[in-house]
Structure 1
Amino acid sequence: MMNASHTVDEVNYQSLKNDGWSVFSPLASECLSYFGSGDAKNLNTRYLIVLCGKNEKEKAMILSTAATAEHFATQLQNIHNKLDVNHRFVHISRCVGRKETLESFLRDAREIKNNDSSAKNVEVTETTAISQFKALVADAIESGASDIHWWVDSISGRIALRIDGEMKKEKGLNKVESREMLSAVLQQYAPGFRGYESDSRQINLPIDIEVDVRNPDTGIKVKEGVRLRLNRTGSSDRLGYKATLRIQRRQRKHSDLSSLSYEKSMQEQLKGILNEPYGIFIGTGKVGSGKSTLIKALMEGIPYTKSGLSIEDPIEFDYEHPNIHAIQVDNKDEASTLEALLHASLRQDPDFINVSEIRTPEVAEDVLGHARVGCVMLSTLHTNDSITSFDRLCELGISPKELSNTDLFLGIMSQRLMKNMCSRCSSPVEKHGRTVFIRNKEGCEHCNSGYVDGRIAVAELLVPDEDDARFIENKAWLEWRKYLLSKGFKTQALRALELSTERKVCYNDCADSVPFFKKVDVHLEHYQSPSLEKAAGEEVLNEQA
């Protein structure tokens, strides 16, 4: 029911504000249109405003000057009807006030209108910015990029794409465009984000979007689901940010072990891990070396009679295996931190647990503890090679005595990803008593500056046994490496040299990016295996001929 009261009481702006009255924003623009230019001499100027109480759906007030109430009764009645029928106020009153009071409330109405216009403009801008962002992502995908690096500062912005491990295809952005685009992305996908300049939080979250990607075979654009792993850091003092977006194409099937570029014997060793009842497997390497893809391939290979749990920050992949459940880490929730989720993981009775990264003493201790009680644990570390992973675990508080229990370790695998060299135009050179190959920087009709698409893994797999325990317990890492080489352990340096004799990777790239490659002669001195034949390079040359 609607009650109406007509008063002639004099009211003022401050007393009404103190009583909780404010401009009813849905009709603010209409009241301003009646006000027009505000020229009191103009007979069409109407001083009226609609106010509402603290509870917007209970009380409304139509406030006007006496002259407006006298000469424009029809307009007041129309507004009265809108409040009754359209907005369903319980009580509607009409009051007369001084012109100054009306002008104050009309100023409030004008501010509301301006804010509404700004909000609409922001919405349009953000919609445009999101479209631009999606176009940028689509271009990165079509270029074969794995990451988008994005710098934004108070002057300008720029992006660069990481393609086959190298930063390429830089693009400059103007300050406004860059800020609008990145801010729109963060405001849409980062909960509680306040704005570009006012928020300097570190953000690490997955973003799921759909973009139009051109099919290289047909030239037709098709919609494709993409997951971006956004990591953004910044400083509100510098008014600048660095954002990195890892691209994961959700419609592209992720590699299994057989499709990865590992040696056949190494693939068999990795598959054997999936049949073990307990233990630890660790993948190591620098950022972008394929550690996560390796762990994902292992998890997907779990027998269907087993179950798996993946604790990630953030979740990187959608698992196709029906018995794998992925859990998102949330550091703002004490029950959902990596440590808390790992503590509670055994209650779900998993056979395999993937922990995205071992980075704290608590996680390191729990990973070893879970392996002791009957789980296969998989995780990653940031180390240069397999042996130094043991030293890193010591730094995280695990004693050498604990680590010398080699029965726990199913394998430590370290790798680098290297660009595929064009076999048609590469050139032979003599190094280390054998023929290796270097790329032709000019390239040929079959390649781009001596490279062809894709990368190959240069990997080493260390499976320690009881004979290795003494080296671990004494932290004798250098002596251990020599001992392993004498038993036929193929380091990344040796594998890289082997691939360069097979005309698959450039020798110079090996020297630039593979750990300990500059000491490959020392490795060769201690290595006891027939797999690195000196004549390998000559055989490849004969095959090419």
Structure 2
Amino acid sequence: MEKLLENYKFVPKAIGEITGKIQIEKNRFENLLKDLTSIKRIKKSILDFDFQKAQIGELLEIILAGALNNRVSDIHFETEEKNIRLRYRIDGLLNDVASDLPKEVYGYLLSRIKLLSGLKLNIQDKPQDGRFSINLEKKSIELRISLIPSEYGETIVMRILDPDIIKITLLQLGLRKDDLAIIEEQLKSPNGMILNTGPTGSGKTTTLYSFLLHKRNPELKIITIEDPIEYHLEDIEQTQTDPEAGYTFAGGLKSIMRQDPDIILIGEIRDEETAEIAIQASLTGHSVFSTVHANSAVGAIPRLLDLKVKPGSIGPALNLIIAQRLVRRLCENCRISKKILPELKTKIEKFLGSLPKRINKNEFSEIKIFEKKGCVQCAGLGYKGRIAIFELLEINDAMEPLINADVTEVTIKQEAKKQGMVTMQEDGILKTISGLTTFEEIENVTGPIRW
């Protein structure tokens, strides 16, 4: 990896950072990919690593290649009293990789990562953020670096930003056919707002990016304001907030409105001013995509009211509210069929009978449930990748009077259910009996199943 690291150079970043670039040698990287096929094998490679004789760069190469080869979204270096703990986040959950990295070795790793990320070596008592990229043969992968001081030293989290993630089309989002039809119809509208809700890491950005790519057209101007820009989109103007320079979501949105946009993506509506400008933009001929923090699609409405948006503006401005969560997908190579007890079968049949007409019940004529096992292809986890479960709330003429009357969230949900809304939990049940995931995964993100 010394050759690998000798190739990095500092280049000015588009939005004020310094980015280092790593060119990974093809043969060396391919050999690592063949070897580092599971957490177990990565652990062994680190355990066998000769810290006295080998170059520190070789260890960094193992850690990075192991992460890229095992669907890792984040690499965590956590400082403890005597040693350093290394963990990978895979499909939303943290996995231990090494718990006894020597602090002396970590010091060299930390310095190398700081250099690559354009961070200051002599600052150890303040948070720092940076980026660097790994140049592979066919693509470049960015890593977003966050350092914070802790009791026993600086801890690092490296977020892996694989550009393939943002190439997901509407068809690849995992929407049911009926939900996909709703979204495709809503995206035809030349104005109005689509809101996406959910916690951090629930896939909201990926979904909204897929909307932008679907709408992308040489005849349209698309501008985003994000915090931060995670993925770079071709033919789309992307801007990043910079509070120190006075470029906030609200301030940036005011400037964007003077740029003659057709479509605007706002990373998050956090305050009253941003909410008001976003609503006005959607009422004046613009398509607006954004996110708010709410636990459900219906919950986005009281959240907007909390942000002092006038009830009379919400109905005309909003077209669609989406809520989503990510659950782990069963490995199709090793999943095993699970016997369905009569009591559960009765519950599932009753559930299917209660669903709206737009759902094709014939797809579930033969109910099958699977459980995880574990194999080489999924690194023994039983799951491989993640899928989203969705909840879509269309804002129509029947909804507007309820919003204007400031009724409870429960009342709005009851009306939405009458109109055929399928909740996230219900979508999760449908995906479970389709063999994509498990009831345990659904309950982890939506709570106990209410049959």
Q: TM-score, normalised by structure 1?
A: 0.62
State which of 233, 243, 247 in structure 2 corresponds to 1:331: 243
Match of 2:72 among 145, 149, 152: 145
User: Which runs of structure 2 are paired with 1:50-199 in the superposition (5 Å)?
Assistant: 132-153=59-80, 155-172=82-99, 173-190=101-118, 193=120, 195-197=122-124, 199=125
2:293 aligned with 1:382: yes
Find the counterpart in structure 2 of residue 498 from structure 1.
Answer: 430
Deviations 1:20-53 (A, max 9, x none): xxxxxxxxxxxxxxxxxxxxxxxxxxxxxxxxxx
Question: Aligned with 1:426: secondary structure?
Answer: strand
Does residue 365 (structure 1) correspond to residue 307 (structure 2)? The answer is no
Determine which structure has greater relative contact order: mean sequence separation of CA pairs < 8 Å that are 6+ residues apart, divided by chain length. 2
**One-letter amino acid matched to 1:494:** E
Q: Distance in 2 between matches of 1:281 and 1:208?
A: 33
**Distance (whole Å) between structure 2 residues aligned to residue 471 and residue 234 of structure 1:** 49
Residue 445 (structure 1) shift? 8.2
Match in the other structure for 1:286: 199
Unaligned segments of structure 1, at least 5 residues: 1-127, 213-221, 522-545
Unaligned ranges ≥5, structure 2 = 1-54, 350-366
Which residue is equivalent to 1:462? 393
Give the superposition deviation at 1:462.
1.0
Amino acid of the residue matched to residue 355 of structure 1?
Answer: I
Where 1:359 maps in the other structure, the secondary structure is coil
* Equivalent residue number for residue 32 of structure 2: none
> Does the C-alpha gap of structure 1 residues 356 and 517 become closer, same or farther in structure 2, counting only changes over 3 Å?
same
**Whose Rg is larger?**
1
Mapping of residues 305-344 of structure 1, within 5 Å: 305-320=219-234, 322=235, 324-334=236-246, 336-344=247-255
2:200 is the alignment partner of 1:276: no
Q: 8 Å contact 1:458–1:492 — kept in the other structure? A: yes
Shift of 1:459: 0.6
Which residue of structure 2 aligns with residue 96 of structure 1? none
Given the alignment, which residue of 313, 319, 332 partners 1:410?
319
CA distance in 1, matches of 2:375, 2:108: 42
2:133 pairs, out of 194, 206, 209, with 209
Determine the C-alpha separation between the residues in 2 that align with 1:361 and 1:377: 16
Q: Deviations over 1:333-384 (max 9, x none)?
A: 12x3333211100111110111112222222222112222221111122322
Instruction: Identify the residue that residue 426 of structure 1 maps to in structure 2.
Output: 337
CA shift, 1:448, in A, is 6.2
Matches within 5 A, 1:501-520: 501-513=433-445, 515=446, 517-518=448-449, 520=450
Structure 1: distance between partners of 2:82 and 2:135: 29
| Shift in Å, 1:167 | 1.3
In structure 2, the CA distance between the partners of 1:393 and 1:170, relative to structure 1 (3 Å rule), is farther
1:393 positional shift: 2.1
Q: Does 1:481 align with 2:418?
A: no
Is 1:280–1:368's contact at 8 Å kept on the other side of the alignment? yes
1:394–1:400 Cα contact (<8 Å) kept:
yes
Residue among 258, 270, 281 paired with 2:171: 258
Task: State the percentage of identical aligned residues.
Answer: 25
Q: Residue 374 and residue 488 in structure 1: after superposition, are their counterparts in 2 closer, same or farther (change >3 A)?
A: same
Following the alignment from structure 1 to structure 2, what is the Cα–Cα distance between the partners of residues 508 and 439?
A: 11
Give the letter for the 2:133 counterpart: I
Change (3 A) 1:401 1:141: same
Residue 151 of structure 1 and its aligned partner are, at CA, apart by 1.9
Q: CA deviation at 1:399?
A: 3.8
Partner of 1:29: none
C-alpha spacing 1:159/1:443, structure 2 compared with 1 (3 Å): closer
Alpha-carbon displacement from aligned partner over 1:290-333 (angstroms, at most 9, x marks no partner): 1111111111111412110011222111213x2x1111222221
CA change 1:251–1:129 in 2 (3 A) is farther
- Counterpart of 1:318, as a letter, is H
- What value does the CA root-mean-square deviation take over the aligned residues? 3.0
TM-score by length of 2: 0.74
Distance in 2 (CA, whole Å) between partners of 1:135 and 1:150 is 14
Relative to structure 1, the CA distance from residue 401 to residue 263 in structure 2 (aligned partners, 3 Å threshold; closer, same or farther) is same
Label 1:437 to 1:204 Cα distance change in 2 as closer, same or farther (>3 A).
farther
